[in-house]
A and B are shown apart, each in its own frame.
Chain A
Amino acid sequence: MSGLVMPAPDRKTLARREEIVADMRVIVPGEGVVAAETAMRAFESDGLTAYRQLPLVVVLPQTVRQVQRILKYCNDRNIRVVPRGSGTSLSGGALPLEDAVLLVMSRFNRILDIDYANRTVTAQPGVTNLGITEAVRHEGFYYAPDPSSQIACSIGGNVAENSGGVHCLKYGLTANNVLGVEMVLMSGEVVRLGGKHLDSEGYDLIGVVTGSEGLLGVVTEVTVRILKSPETARAVLLGFPSSEQAGQCVADIVGAGIIPGGMEMMDRPAIRAAEDFVRAGYPLDVEALLIVELDGPGAEVDHLIGRVEAIAAQNGSTTCRVSQSEEERLSFWAGRKAAFPAVGRISPDYYCMDGTIPRKELPRVLAGMRELSEKYGLGVANVFHAGDGNLHPLILYDANKPGELEKAESFGADILRLCVAVGGVLTGEHGVGVEKRDLMPDMFSEDDMNQQIRVKCAFDPAHLLNPGKMFPQLHRCAELGRMHVRGGQLPFPDIPRF
C-alpha cells in the first residue's frame, strides 16, 4: 500500500480553493473553518500515521443545518468531502484528500438524552465512546463496545467503523448496540433511521450505514443501547505449552456453553514484551497465554470459574491463576492492555494487523505467520481476541531502514490473504479504509463489490463522500446501473407447469 493511489485531485476544485474557503466561512461562522497550513497539519493523518495529506480546508460545523448546507454546497459543485470524528482510525478512514473538504464532527459533543427506563443514550457523534459510559456510570450502566481507543474515539466514528473491542463475543459490535441514527446525505437531506425502539420499519439501513466508513452519509446523532454493569467480573490467567492447547481450551470453553465477557490470547513474543514492560506477573515459560474473564451475577461467575479451571487443566495448562480481587483482575489485564506500547518498546516501529479467522485455524495461521516472518526477516508478536477469532499480529520493523515499511506492508498483506484463505476476513474491527482497500478483490468478486458500490450509489451517486476508501475502484453509478441481460432461456424446461 505504500504505492497507494488516491483519486486524482480535481483541478477545478483546487483552483477555486479561496472561494470555497470563503463560502465555508459563511456557512460556519467563527472558529469553525481552518485553512492555514500550519493549523491544518493537525488533521493531515489519522491513526494510520504512515499516510499524510493536507486537506483542501478543514470545517468543524456545530449544527445539523450547517452540515446540511456544507454537503449540499459540495454536492452542487462536485467537491469531495472526507468526514472525520476523532481521527483514531487505524485504517486511514479519515485520511484527507488534497481536493476535499475535511468535515470534522468533534464539536458535536453533547449528550442529548439519557433514558434509563428504556436503557438508551442519545448523543451527538463527537461524544467519545467512553463519554457515554461516563455519563451513565453513576447509575450503574455502561455502553458495551469498548475499542481500545475508547478514551478518544467518537461514537460517530464507531458507527462509521462498526467498532468492536474485547467484549464483542458476549455483547456484540457497534452494529448490535445502535438503535437509531440521524444522518445527512450528500444531497443535504436528513434521514432518521430507527430511534429508541427495536428493529427498522423498512430496510435495515442502520445495518449498512454502520461500518460504511463515511462513504454513505454524515452521522449527526446516535442512539445507543446501554446495559446494566455486571454485578461482578473475575479473570482467569492461563498459560499453555502450545498455541494448539490454548486454542483447544478456548473451543472447549465455548463448547461447554460458556460465553466469557472477554477471552484474549497472547503468543510468546507478546507475553515477553508485555511482561518486560508492565511486570503483570505473566509466566515466561509458556507459548500461549489466555485471559478468560467471566462477568455477571456473583453466583454465576463463581460457578463458571470452577468449570473454566477444569477445562484448562484438561488441556494441559501449566499456569492457572484466578483473580481474587479487583486489583488482581486489573493486573491480569494490564499486560494485555499494554501489549501495543510494550511491543513499541522492543521495536522502533510496529504495524498492527486485524484479520479474523475461524478459531480452529489458529495453529495453521500462526505457523504460516512464522514462515512469513522468516521470509520477510521481520519479527511478529500476536495478540488475539480468542473468543471471536480476531487476530492482531504486530509486525516489527524499523521505518528508518530503507524498504522496511514496504516489507512490513507486504508481510501484513500476506497475513491477511492467509486469513481469507482459511475462511476468514480482511478486517475484524479496524476497517478497510485505504489500508486494506487494494486487498478487497482477495475476498470479493467483482460482482460482490459492484453490488456494494451500487448501495453507495443509492446514497451518494456522484461518489463525493470519502472516495479512495474501502473500494479499490469506484465504477460510475450509471455504468453499474446498466443491465447486461444474459441467457433469457426459460430454465428447467422439464419442470412441471401449472
Chain B
Amino acid sequence: MTRFLPTSAADVLEAVEWAAAGETPLEIFGGGSRRGVGRPLACEHVLDLSALSGVTLYEPEELVLSARAGTPLAEIEALLAASGQELAFEPMDHAPLLGGEAGPRGRSGTIGGVLAANASGPRRIKAGAARDHVLGIHAVSGRGEAFKSGGRVVKNVTGYDLAKVMAGSWGTLAAVTDVTFKVLPRAETEATLVLRGLSEADAAHAMAVAMTSSGEVAAAAHLPETVVGKVLDGGFKGWRGATLLRLEGFSPSVAYRFERLAALLAPMAAPEQLEEGESRKLWREVRDCAPFADGTEKPVWRVSMAPSQGHQMVMALRMEAAVDAFYDWQGGLIWLRMEGDAEAESLRRQIAVHGGGFATLVRAPAATRAAIDVFQPQSEALAALSARVKAQFDPLNILNPGRMYR
C-alpha cells in the first residue's frame, strides 16, 4: 500500500498522473471523518490530502475564503468566528454518528470533505448547502489534468459551474485541491421556540405554519417521543415530542419575531423559549444527528423529501419495519435508524409513493454497504447520464471507484 501525502496541487497532479498511467485506483482521503459513507472501497493506494492544508485567502469584507482542500474545518471556523463570520450552510460533522474521533475543538472533517459530501445542516432550508456557497475550485481529474472552475466572486456565470458538480460527488470525479467559499456574517444572536408534545402530524403542520410566516425561521425540526430525551442532556425527557423553531439575527429582530411567531403558534401548544446558549447546543446536536450517535453500527438513513410528506412516509414505513425517526428541514430531512435490517426496498418504495425524494445510507456495517445501494438508484436515463459524466472526469475509474455506484 502506498499513502501519498501531497503538500501541493502539483504533487496531487503527479500522484494522479501516476495512478492513471497504471490504471491504479486511489482512495481520496481528507480527514477521514466521512470515510464510512458510501460503498466500501478496495483501494490499495491512498491519496491523503490532509497535508494539503491552510487558508490561502480570507477577506471578511469581501465575504470570501479560499483554502487548500485538506484544511481542517475547525481551523476555518475558528478563523471566521474571529471576524464574526461563518459558513452559513452549517456543515454537519459526521464523526459523532460514524464513531470517528472528534477533531480539534470538537470539530472533525476538512473543507474538501465538506464539499465532497455537499454537507449542510439545519439552516439548509434557509441558507442552502455547500453547493450553494462554493464559488470556485481547483482540482485534478481522473485523467491526470489540473483544471479550475468558478472564481472568488458571488455573481459568476462564466462557463459551466463544475464546482457545484463536485458537491456531493464524494471524490469520484476529481481530487479537489483548492476551494473558495462564500462566507457570511454570523447572526448576532439566536433563540429557539419550542412547542411541547405535538404529534408528528401536528408538528408538520406547525412547522409549515412557521415556515410560511414572515418570521424568517432559520431551522425547523421535530423530535418525536422516542428521540426527544436524547438531546440537551435529557432536558426534554418524558415529553411526547418537541417541535423546534430557530430564529436568528439582530437581537431586536429576534425578540420581535419570536413574539409574533409565539402568537401565531399559541393555539397549537404553549410556546417555550430556549436562550442562545442552549439553542446553539441543541442545533449542533440536530445537525450532527446526535440522537442516533449511539456507538452502534445500526443502519442510519438520511432521507430528503418534500417537507409535508416526511411524517406520512415514516408512518407508512413503521407498518413494515422497526424504525426510529426524527425530522429536520421542516420535516423534509428525515433521519431514520433501523432496529434490524437496512430495509432499503421498503424505504425507497415508501419514498416513491409519497411524492419522491431520495435516501442515502449514511451508516451501516461495511458488508451491508457493499450489498445494497447506499445512494439512491436512478432512472435508467439519469443513471446512464451520471455514468457518462463520471467517465468524462475519470474515464479509467481510478478515483474512489465504486463509492457511489457499482
Q: Which A residues form the contact surface with B (CB < 8 A)? A: 115-120, 140-141, 161-162, 164, 168-169, 172-173, 175-176, 185, 189-193, 195-205, 207-208, 210-212, 228-231, 251-252, 254-259, 296-300, 303-304, 356-360, 385, 388-390, 423-432, 436, 440, 443-445, 447-452, 454-459, 470, 481, 483, 485-492, 495-498
Other than A118-B332, A201-B376, A489-B18, give 7 A-B pairs with Cβ distance below 8 A.
Answer: A190-B381, A191-B379, A203-B390, A205-B386, A254-B63, A254-B185, A448-B148
Bitwise, B196-212 to A at CB < 8 A (1) or not (0) is 00000000000010011
B239 at interface by CB-CB < 8 Å: no
B393 at interface by CB-CB < 8 Å: yes
Residues of A near B392 (CB, < 8 A) are: 451, 454-455, 457-458, 481
Contact status of A431 and B157, CB under 8 A, knowing A230-B214, A483-B143: yes
Residues of A near B339 (CB, < 8 A) are: none
Residues of A near B60 (CB, < 8 A) are: 255
Report the Cα distance A208→B389, complex, angstroms: 11
Choose among A140, A356, A497 the residue that contacts B156 (Cβ–Cβ < 8 A). Answer: A356
Can you name the residue of chain B whose Cβ is closest to the Cβ of A390? B155
Interface of B is mostly: mixed
Choose among A117, A193, A297, A487 the residue that contacts B216 (Cβ–Cβ < 8 A). Answer: A297
Report the Cα distance A211→B2, complex, angstroms: 40
Q: Is the CB of B151 within 8 A of A207?
A: no
| Nearest Cβ on chain B to A490's Cβ, whole angstroms | 6
Choose among A211, A359, A451 the residue that contacts B393 (Cβ–Cβ < 8 A). Answer: A451
Residues of A near B5 (CB, < 8 A) are: 492, 495
Contact status of A199 and B257, CB under 8 A, knowing A257-B84, A458-B391: no
Contact status of A204 and B168, CB under 8 A, knowing A388-B153, A485-B17: yes
Bitwise, B313-337 to A at CB < 8 A (1) or not (0) is 0000000000000000100110000
Residues of A near B389 (CB, < 8 A) are: 203, 205, 455, 458
Q: Which candidate, B28-36, B72-80, B128-136, is the interface stretch facing chain A?
A: B128-136
Pairs across A and B, CB under 8 Å, 19 listed: A115-B306, A118-B306, A141-B212, A176-B132, A201-B375, A205-B385, A205-B389, A228-B214, A257-B185, A356-B155, A388-B155, A425-B156, A447-B146, A447-B147, A452-B159, A454-B393, A488-B22, A490-B2, A496-B3
Residues of B near A389 (CB, < 8 A) are: 62, 153-155
B289 at interface by CB-CB < 8 Å: no
Q: Is the CB of A300 within 8 A of B250?
A: yes
| Nearest Cβ on chain A to B301's Cβ, whole angstroms | 13
Q: Which candidate, B96-104, B262-270, B280-288, B354-362, is the interface stretch facing chain A?
A: B354-362
Residues of B near A356 (CB, < 8 A) are: 151, 153-156
Q: Is the CB of A202 within 8 A of B386?
A: yes
B371 at interface by CB-CB < 8 Å: no
B53 at interface by CB-CB < 8 Å: no
Choose among B118, B256, B329 the residue that contacts A297 (Cβ–Cβ < 8 A). Answer: B256
Contact status of A197 and B358, CB under 8 A, knowing A204-B165, A428-B156, A496-B3: yes
Residues of B near A388 (CB, < 8 A) are: 153-155
Residues of A near B191 (CB, < 8 A) are: none
B95 at interface by CB-CB < 8 Å: no
Report the Cα distance A487→B382, complex, angstroms: 35
| Nearest Cβ on chain A to B149's Cβ, whole angstroms | 7
Q: Is the CB of B15 within 8 A of A459?
A: no
Contact status of A116 and B212, CB under 8 A, knowing A428-B153, A448-B147: yes
